[in-house]
């Protein structure tokens, strides 16, 4: 029987894989990719399955699960194998008093996937700490050490995400200096939870603890006992609008919600403005739990997470996502973009 990808994704959705391979050494990963390419097979590289929306029909080609392990430490630099689970690595760094990724506690998945969408949360992004990414470039058939400056990191994206499938990440090198205190906290909700002002620092274990509490409250820590965590995390990215588009959004929001409404705004260095997808979804009329309690629904704890309630299908999940995106478009003229990677179907 062909292996079901639903068993390998946090959404517990997705049909069968044509063939499933697992590789736990760099050489074996590269060899498996080369063999698939030489045979002209389509290839899906994955690890934790926490950012995938796989079609009900599955993926007919080869699925390669990255399962490499190992952390090499050289002073402040840590070179981590792609298959290392992310959160245990964060826990280790916090325990060792290494600052830089403490706000990224509780995020599921693998180290090797973090550069793909420049994983971020609570004011930190992995690109703040990544020195380089070692990857197999399928276009050039060679292993390269890519400096962070060449990874094209942007909000929830990178050169890897913009060129799907081209690079297979083998290892990531981070610079994580030994310091008992966190980076300055740049996220108001986290600063409040820590009882400090934005811009202040806190002991690393306190930051990790506070982040985990906040995340659990939103169903954003994978927990078999929490049906709201059967998701792919945030389903939509926060829209980044140019000044004109943001002004148009404000105008529509005032017309719809009243003259004194304040649209969330996070000005970006390039003059654009990031706004809140959750705010738009809620103000467009979608409440937590919206959907069908037996199949697919918005999480009961977090507007941005779409969940499989047990009997859902990918088709139903994507239909719910499209309903939400159409509602936001109709109410505010803003186009929401999905954050997870779609496999075997398109947005």
| Binding footprint of ligand FAD on the chain (CB under 6 A) | 10, 45-52, 66, 82, 107-110, 112-114, 116-117, 119-121, 168-169, 220, 222, 229, 231-233, 341
**DSSP string of 172-199, one letter each residue:** EEEE--B-SBPSPP--HHHHHHHTS-TT
Cβ proximity to ligand FAD: between 51 and 331 the closer is: 51
Nearer to ligand FAD, 90 or 253 (CB): 90
Q: Name which of 180 and 217 has its Cβ closer to ligand FAD.
A: 217
Distance CA 170, CA 72 (A): 13
Q: Quick one: which H or E segment has residue 212? A: helix 204-217
Distances (CA, A) of 290 to 161, 198, 316: 30, 33, 13
User: Of the two residues 97 and 209, which places its CB atom closer to ligand FAD in the complex?
Assistant: 209
Query: Do 5 and 33 form a contact (C-beta atoms < 8 A)?
Result: no
Alpha helices in 71-187 (DSSP H): 86-96, 159-162
Q: From the CB of 91, what's the least distance to ligand FAD, in Å?
A: 16
Helix 204-217 vs helix 86-96: crossing angle, to nearest 10: 150
Q: How far is the CB of 222 from ligand FAD (least distance, A)?
A: 5
Shortest approach of ligand FAD to residue 82 CB, angstroms?
4
Beta strands at 130-137 and 167-175: parallel, antiparallel or unpaired: antiparallel
Both structure tokens of 313: 């299908």
| Nearest approach, Cβ of residue 231 and ligand FAD (Å) | 5
**Which residues are annotated as catalytic?**
156, 234, 339
CB of 259 to ligand FAD, least distance (A): 34
- DSSP-assigned letters across all residues of 250-316: HHHHHHHH-TT-----EE-TTS-EE--HHHHHHHTT--TT-B-TTSEEE-SS-TTBEEE-SS--HHH
CA angle 15, 19, 24 (to 5 degrees): 115
Cβ closest to ligand FAD, residue 136 vs residue 246: 136
């Amino acid at each position: 029987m062909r292996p079901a990808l639903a068993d390998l994704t946090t959404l517990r959705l997705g049909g069968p894989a044509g063939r499933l391979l697992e590789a736990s050494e760099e050489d074996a990963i590269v060899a498996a990719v080369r063999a698939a390419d030489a045979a002209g097979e389509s290839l899906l590289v994955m690890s934790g399955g926490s950012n995938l929306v796989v079609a009900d029909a599955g993926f007919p080609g080869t699925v390669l699960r990255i399962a490499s392990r190992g952390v090499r430490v050289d002073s402040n630099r840590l070179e981590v194998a792609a298959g290392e689970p992310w959160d245990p690595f964060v826990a280790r760094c916090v325990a060792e008093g290494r600052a830089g990724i403490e706000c990224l506690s509780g995020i599921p998945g693998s180290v090797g996937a973090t550069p793909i969408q420049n994983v971020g949360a609570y004011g930190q992004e992995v690109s703040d700490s990544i020195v380089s990414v070692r990857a197999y470039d399928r276009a050039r058939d060679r292993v390269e050490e890519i400096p962070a400056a060449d990874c094209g990191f942007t909000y929830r994206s990178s050169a890897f995400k913009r060129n799907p499938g081209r690079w297979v990440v083998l290892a990531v090198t981070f610079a994580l200096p030994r310091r008992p205190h966190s980076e300055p906290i740049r996220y108001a909700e986290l600063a409040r939870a820590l009882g400090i002002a934005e811009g202040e620092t806190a002991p690393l274990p306190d930051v990790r603890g506070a982040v985990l509490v906040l995340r659990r409250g939103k169903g954003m820590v994978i927990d078999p006992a929490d049906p709201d965590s059967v998701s792919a995390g945030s389903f939509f990215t926060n829209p980044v609008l140019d000044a004109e588009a943001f002004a148009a959004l404000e105008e529509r929001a005032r017309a719809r919600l009243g003259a004194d409404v304040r649209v969330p705004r996070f000005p970006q260095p390039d003059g654009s403005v990031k706004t809140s997808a959750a705010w738009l979804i809620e103000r467009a009329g979608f409440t937590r739990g919206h959907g069908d309690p037996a199949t697919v629904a918005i999480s009961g704890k977090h507007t941005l997470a779409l969940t499989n309630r047990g009997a859902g299908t990918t088709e139903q999940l994507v239909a719910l996502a499209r309903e939400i995106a159409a509602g936001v478009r109709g109410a505010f003229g803003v186009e929401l973009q999905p954050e997870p990677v779609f496999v075997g179907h398109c947005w």
